[in-house]
Amino acid sequence: MFDLLIKEAYLPDGRGPVNIAIKDGKIAAIGQNTPDNAAEIIDAKGQLVSPPFVDPHFHMDATLSLGLPRLNQSGTLLEGIALWGELKPMLTVEAVVERALRYCDLAVSQGLLSIRSHVDVSTAPLTGVEALLEVRKTVAPYIDLQLVAFPQDGLFRAEGAEENLMRALDMGVDVVGGIPHFERTMEDGARSVKRLCEIAADRGLRVDLHCDESDDPMSRHVETLAAETTRLGLGGRVVASHVSAMHSYDNYYASKLIPLIAESGMHVVPNPLINITLQGRSDTYPRRRGLTRVQELRAAEVNVAFGQDCTMDPWYPLGSADMLEVAHMGVHAVPMTSREAMEWAFHSVTMGGAAAMGLPDPTLREGGPANMLLLQARDPIEAVRLKATRLAVIRGGKVLSRTAPRIAQLSLEGRPDSVNPADYAPPQNT
Ligand code: FE2
């Protein structure tokens, strides 16, 4: 007797229809002839069952603070950082915990069950660190939450930032963060990359730097990060986040840099919702998109994973913990509309994010954890197109959240009664 059986599901690799049998929090069987005896049966009706979504780049200490103490008028990264600096002294542990937990509830409903969040450590007291360590503990039964010690105001630019960062790591923050393009000079930026990588190497930790989140074609810290990653043998433990300036590099330099990134084994995490809105603000026209070179990095076999970055905070007024919205924006902003690339965009917010965070491969397989989503879509591309409804969110074999399918009831003479967006099948064999 199984605890849960999902019938007639399709998998992200196209296999199906299959039944997925779950027992004791694990996938007991995936196949066509699974016995039907289960305490609960969910009929997937030919829809997609996938691993849960992963967000490898977020700021949970700032989330849902939109409008506190005022709105970002210019829409730039720099005004966002200044605004956050105004809000920081007003933060309390209780308020940050409350907003973060509210966000985590939304995340679960969206099937987002692994999140890497940066937490500002540039100034004492470490309110955000204290709050998010508590949140990490509270949500542990349903969200894998990794924390990055992030010196938002610069490791060297903000007085005491290095001491605060070390203290945050001592308190249990998981990953070493940084922001080299915000240091006072290029030299300070490069020095901060070296120092942060050495701290991580000494402590056996991972590294995740906001790297070249800038329209400056001379912002070239990712080359230092690649070199340090190679020098210290940090390989798959390093993430370069944003890397927006690569959009503005000349093609020759990019053609030299990308093989160095690939050689280092670093992951790259662009954040399409944020970089399409923050970058290019000082341009007139043509206006740069500011997204890194996703297709070229992929061609060099670099793991690229889209992140969300923000939801309703000093940098971004929208957002809804929806990693399909992130993938959808990535498809547009890169742009990349081949079927191969759109399918990849889906995998980027599941498998790609898990690899960037150093989590186990989440592919659904027998003996693996019963963590999965039932989506109102037939396949990964349709899931991206529709930002598919999360019909069921399952972790450890338990249904954590259900959402009713999106079906409109029509009142049109001579037309059908209802419209289900997932009934519009894509062309076959294209
Ligand atoms: Fe960020």
Q: Which chain residues have CB less than 5 Å from ligand 1, an ion?
A: 309
Where in the chain do CATH 2.30.40.10 domains reside?
2-51+363-424
| Integer Cα distance of 303 and 288 in angstroms | 24
pTM of the shown model: 0.97
Distance 103 CA to ligand 1 centre (A): 16
Distance 92 CA to ligand 1 centre (A): 21
Where in the chain do CATH 3.20.20.140 domains reside?
53-357
1 burial via Cβ count (<10 Å: 0-12, 13-18, 19+): exposed
User: Which residues participate in catalysis according to the annotation?
Assistant: 213
Distance 117 CA to ligand 1 centre (A): 9
Q: Buried b / exposed e across 67-99, counting CB within 10 Å, b at 16+?
A: ebeeebeeebbebbbebbbebbeebebeebbeb
Q: Are 156 and 192 in contact (CB under 8 A)?
A: yes
Instruction: Identify the CATH class of 2-51+363-424.
Output: mainly beta
Instruction: Identify the CATH class of 53-357.
Output: alpha beta
* Residues whose CB is less than 8 angstroms from the CB of residue 110 and which lie 6 or more positions away in sequence, other chains included: 53, 320, 321, 322, 323, 390
Distance 327 CA to ligand 1 centre (A): 17
Distance 209 CA to ligand 1 centre (A): 9
Distance 144 CA to ligand 1 centre (A): 18
Nearest to 380 by CA among 121, 15, 65, 127: 15
Distance 357 CA to ligand 1 centre (A): 15
Q: Is 17 strand, coil or helix?
A: coil
DSSP letter string, 38-64: EEEEEE-TT-BEEPPEEEEEE-TTTTT
Residue 393's alpha-carbon distances to 122, 143, 372, 403, in angstroms, are: 36, 12, 6, 9
From first to last of the 430 residues of the chain, give the pLDDT tens digit: 999 999 999 999 999 999 999 999 999 999 988 878 999 999 999 999 999 999 999 999 999 999 999 999 999 999 999 999 999 999 999 999 999 999 999 999 999 999 999 999 999 999 999 999 999 999 999 999 999 999 999 999 999 999 999 999 999 999 999 999 999 999 999 999 999 999 999 999 999 999 999 999 999 999 999 999 999 999 899 999 999 999 999 999 999 999 999 999 999 999 999 999 999 999 999 999 999 999 999 999 999 999 999 999 999 999 999 999 999 999 999 999 999 999 999 999 999 999 999 999 999 999 999 999 999 999 999 999 999 999 999 999 999 999 999 999 999 999 999 999 888 776 665 4
